[in-house]
Structure 1
Amino acid sequence: MRFLKALFVWLFMLALIAGAGAAAGWVWFNNELSRPGPLTDEAVIQVEPGEALSMVADRLEAAGVIHDARLMKLKARMDGSELEIKTGEYLIDKGATVSEVLSILTEGRALLHKITLPEGRTTAQLLKIIEKDKMLTGDMPEVLPEEGTLLPDTYMFHRGMTRAQLIEKMQQAQADLLEELWPTRQEGLPITTPHEAVILASVVEKETGKADERPEIAGLFTTRLKRGMRLQSDPTIIYGISKGEPLYNKAGQRRTLYRSEIDRHTEWNTYQVDGLPKTPICNPGADAIRAVLDPPETEYVFFVADGKGGHLFAKTNAEHERNVAAYRAYERGEIARERAN
């Protein structure tokens, strides 16, 4: 009986020692998971498709991102996240703990890149920007998108997105925008399809670089179309000549249109054709599309550049001629000042 009592005491002591050891081990393990990592500056890491967590953990230890790969593997095994790491590119902050790094990888908080595709560019011009972007992958699609079917914007994407995927995303963005806006369009517009809205918006987009002028010019063009007047938009002439590329003289300097080009008939020259040009002349942004679908009422039917980035608007031809004369006087003054300097 005395022996059994002693054995029980001995086993109890062993259990206490083992429990204390396990508790100490658990405390140490959690402290290590939350201990600041070795990174002295932020770093970008890449998880490739098909990489297992064990491979990634070993690579992170070798790269000095975490202290011990075994801790990450054990943590992932314990919480069941071994198979949950996501492919992608990740930004790891300096001093990131094992727990923080593992959370970033399993939650898929991948680093985003951006590409800005400006309004008013032709499809060919936008495709050149996409083709040159080094963060995108893959070849350009064999079948290129038609003019005016891309929605310009700043797009965020993960490393590994293909050029074809981005182009599809831009096309879908425009389709979604038109699906949203077309049913709410203003009544009585001189356009009958979403495609015609894009054509008119492309002309508005090319006529001004000032955001606050888009509605005014959209209203002006709408008024002209309702009155049966031609749009008489210079950018439509340029598109018929060079598909939207700038025009240069023999000395390689940007030039204005020649009289012969204004008089030349193309399917885009709105000095020569009634209504809209044959196709869009660029890819208009969302604001230009909104402007032509809900233009303000205006009696303005003429406009000319003011030489300062904006335009002078007129209701009558006589008023327009005065604005043109003012612009030409401004130009002469600018030329004189340049020569004086």
Structure 2
Amino acid sequence: MLVQCYHIKTFSILMPVVSVELLETMSEQRYTNLKRCGITEVNIFIMETIHTAYSSLIATISTTYTNGKVVALRAVNNQLLTTYWQIGQHIVEFEQGGKAKATYGKALLENLSKDLNKLHGKGFSRSNLNYMRLVYVCFPICEELPHKLTWTHLCELVKINDPLERSFYQQQAILENWSTTELIRQKNSSLYLRLASSKDKEGILKLAHQGQIVAQPTDILKDIYVFEFLKIAEPYHLSETDLEQRLITHLQSFLLELGKGFAFIGRQYRITLGNRNHYVDLVFYHRILKCFVLIDLKREEANYQDVGQMNMYLGYFENEENTESDNPPIGIVLAKEKDELVIQYAMHNVSSQLFVQKYQLYLPNKEELRKVIEDQLNRETE
């Protein structure tokens, strides 16, 4: 290695200086390489001290810059949302004026778009002006704007007519830091409707106002898991292995469907009992519940044998894989169909952490789910 030597006065010592790259890649031959330039071990120590301080300076400046950038972007976003809200307010108040409404009618937004684009350039399309108007209508109090979200998030939220459903997606997007794309996917998969359809009135209202709070195993469950992102047409003839592979290929979408807190550990996780090997299809760790989550996929109807097998997996993980800080593992048998009566008896005296849930490969019927929720909300509290 050729080392170019220069001299600077550091700590009152005239000493050669090597490049940062050399200091970062020092090996067992570092002294030999450096001594070729006449550098002593004392000087090497001083140089390493300087390099450590310099690296710390780089890290400090980078952190300061990044934090400042985040604060600046947040301030810009807050002002943008407030400005668009105010524009929406002006439009609505103008629309409410009798003569103005009679004069412009439905053409108001088109005229505004044409004239404002002439004055200020792009940014005032008819659709964007309509979103500004809807944001004001949906959030009539400026202080209640969800400033932790972006304008594109708000454009998606105001498309939701039901205030409870809109509130849920707003809270959940903030809690899970959803991108706009993730928000759209969860809306399209009817996440709120699927979660709310299995709850009573109190549970629905809590879900809408607080989002999905995970405090116990049942909080991570959905009545039906939707895998429409696999784009598999019905009827399908995939094996369980093929289905598993497709879910892993679309792992990001799969994790989004499972919900917050899931971290992927592995697939076909081997368990050796006696002289036989057994394999858990998918193993996750839940960061919030602090436990393993085991998932077995069934392409057809779940049966009592599937329940017994998962119960064995749970026993093994609790005794062999858990550490002292881990909570008991959760097992989910994920099947295309299930017979409620068979599963009820199969679950007798097995782990309370074991669940049998259904999945489907297409988006659910939103109107049917809404009808269930409306019935629950209209039901008087006994």
TM class by shorter chain equals under 0.3
Query: Which has the higher relative contact order, 1 or 2, with Cα contacts under 8 A spaced 6 or more apart?
Result: 1
Given the two structures, how large is their TM-score scaled by the length of structure 2? 0.24
Q: Which has the higher helix share?
A: 2
Q: Which has the larger Rg?
A: 1
Given the two structures, how large is their TM-score scaled by the length of structure 1? 0.26
